[in-house]
Structure 1
Amino acid sequence: MQAIDLDVLIVGAGLSGISAAYYLQTRCPHKRYTILEGRKAIGGTWDLFRYPGIRSDSDMYTLGYAFRPWHSSQAIADGASILQYIRETAQIYGIDQQINFEHMVRRIRWSSEQALWTVEVERLAAGDWVQYRCNFLYMCGGYYDYTQGYTPEWPSLSQFEGRVVHPQAWPQNLDYRDQRVVVIGSGATAITLVPAMAAQAQHVTMLQRSPTYVVAQPASDARAEQLRRWLPAKLAFHVIRWRAIIQGIVYYVLMRTLPKVAKRALINMAQQALGDSYDAKIHFSPNYNPWDQRLCLAPDGDFFKALKSGQASVVTDQIEQFTATGIQLQSGQHVAADLIVTATGLNLRLLSGIEIVVDGRKVELGTSLNYKGMMLSDVPNLALAFGYTNASWTLKCELTSMYVCRLLNYMDRHGYTSCMPKNFNPTMATEPALSFTSSYVQRVIKHLPRQGRQRPWRLYQNYLLDLLMLRLGSLDDGNMEFFRAWPSQRQVE
């Protein structure tokens, strides 16, 4: 089998993979690297999802890269614009020339004796396999299964005579004009789909088992536009970006500190947006506190406008069974449909389901500890990009990329070949790394790395704390082992 040797291998050419490559080639220019992408194109999530209305659910001033400011007036951007932004970034910095497409990583094996990862890759187009060998692996493949979304087991679904579509596998040129559409779900995807489809459909019904917090927010940031006019471009970007970061942190802390007040405020905001058309206490009052699950965003209140106009409606009920012409609910109501969209979520799949073996030992993610939100205990020379659950994904991923570069340069300066996070406190209490009550998290929570009760094993979901730890904190913090030689002659520093 052909083997290719590199210093660093990046897996994934989406938002975080392009960021990782930029920082690596600018801060570690001596490192040979390449990117392996299992799909045929750059973009990750933003190339995969093609459903109507696909857009960001975070502001673009923080979802965009710090090294290439987002200059559009749209703070909430559509998917096509985000995809173009990612691809242009890759082209501008020559990153697109370092990507091997349709290279699907299947298995990675670490050898302590060689201080190398052997990466087994299936080349989908060629129909063969190739091996890559590298000293450091940076996993940027996201957090969910790209091959299929999640659909509950509904035995009676086969009785429905219309069409059933999952947003993750949206058919090209699907025509739903003048059709009765039922969107099952109440998450961000459903909140996006309803107003987008209502513009052409005869009617769109969002069928939810339980409510979600929905927040209306301007799609354009008027204050950001003012700052652009008043300040030099570079200064304006930094002010706008930091304003968005601080504002997000403050809102999150207030909501978690005063959940009852926050819940009441969010329901009242929804009621004001709806007017008398719906009772927000029934349809937009979840049985959990704000940020136990992610809040849903409605740019310019488009979701609420669709409901008020009568083009769309929301029904809060349980599915009894599917019928030939729609859905029978437990309340006795029947919702007619020509098209059913199952916006029922993702299959969470960390590290793309790749098998990880360290010195012959298969790594079980559920027994690992998450180190600084970017590495795994007892797994050498491997980092993973995983963004915030309460803020823009890119914020944490960029901090991680900068930390990886610091780490690589530190190792080179001291002659180290390997590093490995190690928990030296066996009595430290642990808990799930993600506190979300969302179904897609709870279905796989036991298979995800855990977190400790204290740093650097604790995830704070706070950009300022991570900035201090990852940008300014010590690399040799007493929880990271560094090695100059493996295995018998290794020296732990």
Structure 2
Amino acid sequence: MTTQRDVDVLIVGAGLSGINMAYRIQQACPDLTYAIVERRERIGGTWDLFRYPGVRSDSDFFTLAFPFRPWRGKDAIVDGDQILEYLEDTAREAGIDRHISFGRRVEAADWSSADARWTVQAEGPDGAEEWSARFLVACTGYYDYDQPYDPGFAGVDDFEGTLVHPQFWPEDLDHTGRRVVVIGSGATAVTIVPAMAETAEHVTMLQRTPSYLLAQPKGDPIADVVRKVAPPTVAHHVVRTKNMLLQWALFQACQRAPKAMRSLLLKGVAHGTGSEEIAQQHFNPPYDPWDQRLCVTPQGDIFAAIKAGKASVATARIDRFVPEGVRLEDGTVLPADIVVTATGLSIKILGGARITVDGELRDPSDSFAYYGAMLTGLPNLAFCVGYINLSWTMRSDMTSRLVAKVLRRLVDSGSTSVVPEFAGTGASTPLMDMQSGYLQRGAHLMPRAAASYPWSFKQNFLVDSWSTNRADLDDGLVWTTAADRAEVGA
């Protein structure tokens, strides 16, 4: 028997974006009912999924935290458990936790033009569930929780040690005194290597292509001073604004003066590792800074591990796995008891749910994204993704406030539906257009973006916020009232 439930707004996902969205909706639209369905058994999304050693924020937490709830912790770079605790406390204090149904996996959603509602099919703890909602919001991120990227390494079954992917970390894995090879060079690998090196015999980071690394203090001395003289909320906003501008300035500097920034970053690596040779050989990518995401190493922890001889880096291509470890193309074998395949993510849009309009299947990649928040051809639907080059929440809160504004207009105008309609011309790009491997692999799955607003997604906080926060809801959106529907029906 299918359980049926009815709400004004249904939010899918109870991670950073879902909690953010719920807060902004209940703030702007207290007259609307809403629910959150979460496939996991706990708040947190990504931060509940990833349990690998050292898991932490890759951005300072003053900008990753919500602007409406000050971060009171000591550190600016925060570990995963602290992030989960912060999210749970936020949801509880705002009463959002009472709206969450856990263990619900959304399988499909169909929009009915006649009823002006979404019917959402989910699988719950007691079987099939059906949710009816006036508005649907997907806060599911943009990657596949079930299937990470698999490069298809040869000989994996020959390996006699333990093979682990960070997305499915075993709780009982003990790496003490073991030889570890971590395959990858992104933020996950850069986090795992120094954390495992603390007790492992040795950890080797095996990378095909280097990444740029930036050492950053775990704490924020300026924040400490500001919080001594200003109330928590004021201090949080001052530090958040300062850090947002610093992140933005760093990105712009990398874009405008790549040679100078490359030199500066390499000098930082040479200083941290004590070796200019290591910097040039293993941390000097063939692309410019911020063409792919810049990885942060708190306190230069990975550099310290390398300098102490607890970790090392190998830049080479893999030939195949062998019983004793990983063999490189030049014949060198890296011996390993444990191999961690931090090889990247797979893209999945709208959580992989089957989306239909009046029974007709719709592919998000055929749509243009309105301010990176709504999709052409899909009425009363929004989605939320954060920045790639800045803290996730800096974008997700912007989107949440825009969605709340659209909902407020929907109610106040007596409209039954709203849908973006693209009338532009010219070239388009994937919504998240960067050279990172997982984004390039998944580019064909993404909605499209154009050069100008409201169809742009510039990865530039100052430009995006200026345009998005002042969005004209009659530019690019088509609103329908009950009278309009009746006239069409007649």
| TM-score using structure 2 length | 0.97
Instruction: Give 1:130-141 correspondences, 5 Å limit.
Output: 130-141=129-140
1:489 is aligned to 2:487 = yes
* CA distance in 2 between partners of 1:143 and 1:490 (Å): 36
Q: Which residue of 1 aligns with 2:219?
A: 220
Q: Which residue of 2 aligns with 1:15?
A: 16
Q: Are the aligned partners of 1:148 and 1:169 in contact in 2 as well (CA < 8 Å)?
A: no
Cα offsets for 1:311-342 (capped at 9, x unmatched)? 00000011112111011111232111111110
Instruction: Give 1:66-85 correspondences, 5 Å limit.
Output: 66-85=67-86
Q: Which residue of 2 aligns with 1:113?
A: 114
* CA distance in 2 between partners of 1:236 and 1:390 (Å): 24
* CA distance in 2 between partners of 1:301 and 1:393 (Å): 22
Q: CA deviation at 1:173?
A: 2.3
Q: CA deviation at 1:158?
A: 1.0
Q: Which residue of 2 aligns with 1:44?
A: 45
Cα offsets for 1:405-445 (capped at 9, x unmatched)? 111111222111111110123x3321222221122112221
* CA distance in 2 between partners of 1:9 and 1:213 (Å): 40
Q: Which amino acid aligns with 1:114?
A: D
Name whichever of 294-303 and 260-269 sits farther off.
260-269
Q: CA deviation at 1:487?
A: 3.9
Q: Are the aligned partners of 1:214 and 1:296 in contact in 2 as well (CA < 8 Å)?
A: yes
Q: CA deviation at 1:277?
A: 7.2
* CA distance in 2 between partners of 1:291 and 1:276 (Å): 23
Q: Which amino acid aligns with 1:39?
A: R
* CA distance in 1 between partners of 2:37 and 2:488 (Å): 31
Which residue, out of 444, 447, 453, partners 2:445? 447
Q: CA deviation at 1:266?
A: 1.4
Q: CA deviation at 1:278?
A: 4.3
Name whichever of 51-60 and 146-155 sits farther off.
146-155
Matched positions, count: 487
* CA distance in 1 between partners of 2:228 and 2:184 (Å): 41
Q: Which residue of 2 aligns with 1:366?
A: 365
Q: Are the aligned partners of 2:453 and 2:467 in contact in 1 as well (CA < 8 Å)?
A: no
Q: CA deviation at 1:3?
A: 2.4
1:470 is aligned to 2:468 = yes
Q: Which residue of 2 aligns with 1:341?
A: 340
* CA distance in 1 between partners of 2:184 and 2:462 (Å): 34
* CA distance in 2 between partners of 1:343 and 1:360 (Å): 39
Q: Which amino acid aligns with 1:482?
A: W
* CA distance in 2 between partners of 1:489 and 1:462 (Å): 43
Q: Are the aligned partners of 2:410 and 2:416 in contact in 1 as well (CA < 8 Å)?
A: yes
Q: Which amino acid aligns with 1:468?
A: W
Q: Which residue of 2 aligns with 1:480?
A: 477
* CA distance in 2 between partners of 1:429 and 1:204 (Å): 45
Q: Which residue of 2 aligns with 1:142?
A: 141
* CA distance in 2 between partners of 1:91 and 1:227 (Å): 27
Partner SS state of residue 291, structure 1: coil
* CA distance in 1 between partners of 2:265 and 2:433 (Å): 21
Q: CA deviation at 1:207?
A: 0.5
Instruction: Give 1:310-459 correspondences, 5 Å limit.
Output: 310-425=309-424, 427-459=425-457
Q: Are the aligned partners of 1:110 and 1:357 in contact in 2 as well (CA < 8 Å)?
A: yes
1:101 is aligned to 2:102 = yes
Q: Which amino acid aligns with 1:489?
A: E
* CA distance in 1 between partners of 2:232 and 2:88 (Å): 22
* CA distance in 1 between partners of 2:181 and 2:233 (Å): 46
Partner SS state of residue 469, structure 2: helix
Task: Return 5+ residue gaps in structure 2 as ranges.
Answer: none
Instruction: Give 1:163-202 correspondences, 5 Å limit.
Output: 163-202=162-201
* CA distance in 2 between partners of 1:375 and 1:257 (Å): 31
* CA distance in 1 between partners of 2:468 and 2:437 (Å): 31
Q: Are the aligned partners of 2:431 and 2:449 in contact in 1 as well (CA < 8 Å)?
A: yes
Root-mean-square deviation (CA, aligned residues, Å) is: 1.4
* CA distance in 1 between partners of 2:357 and 2:260 (Å): 48
1:26 is aligned to 2:27 = yes
Q: Which residue of 2 aligns with 1:236?
A: 235
Partner SS state of residue 481, structure 1: strand
Name whichever of 348-357 and 142-151 sits farther off.
142-151
Q: CA deviation at 1:230?
A: 2.6
Q: Are the aligned partners of 1:277 and 1:308 in contact in 2 as well (CA < 8 Å)?
A: no
Q: CA deviation at 1:465?
A: 2.3
Q: Which amino acid aligns with 2:478?
A: E
* CA distance in 2 between partners of 1:423 and 1:370 (Å): 9
Identity within the alignment, %: 44
* CA distance in 2 between partners of 1:399 and 1:160 (Å): 47
Q: CA deviation at 1:151?
A: 2.3
Q: CA deviation at 1:373?
A: 0.9
Partner SS state of residue 472, structure 1: coil
Runs of 4+ in 1 over 3 A off after TM superposition: none
Q: Which amino acid aligns with 1:443?
A: R
* CA distance in 2 between partners of 1:278 and 1:363 (Å): 52
Q: Which amino acid aligns with 1:322?
A: F
Q: Which residue of 2 aligns with 1:289?
A: 288
In structure 2, the CA distance between the partners of 1:32 and 1:490, relative to structure 1 (3 Å rule), is farther
Q: Are the aligned partners of 1:8 and 1:32 in contact in 2 as well (CA < 8 Å)?
A: yes
Q: CA deviation at 1:464?
A: 2.1
Partner SS state of residue 155, structure 1: coil
* CA distance in 2 between partners of 1:115 and 1:356 (Å): 15
Q: CA deviation at 1:484?
A: 0.4
* CA distance in 2 between partners of 1:298 and 1:490 (Å): 59
* CA distance in 1 between partners of 2:221 and 2:147 (Å): 39
Q: CA deviation at 1:243?
A: 0.4
Q: Which amino acid aligns with 1:480?
A: L
Cα offsets for 1:69-119 (capped at 9, x unmatched)? 111120000000001110111111121111111111100001111110010
| TM-score using structure 1 length | 0.96
Q: Which residue of 2 aligns with 1:204?
A: 203
* CA distance in 1 between partners of 2:467 and 2:411 (Å): 21
Task: Return 5+ residue gaps in structure 1 as ranges.
Answer: none
Partner SS state of residue 322, structure 1: strand
Q: CA deviation at 1:490?
A: 5.4
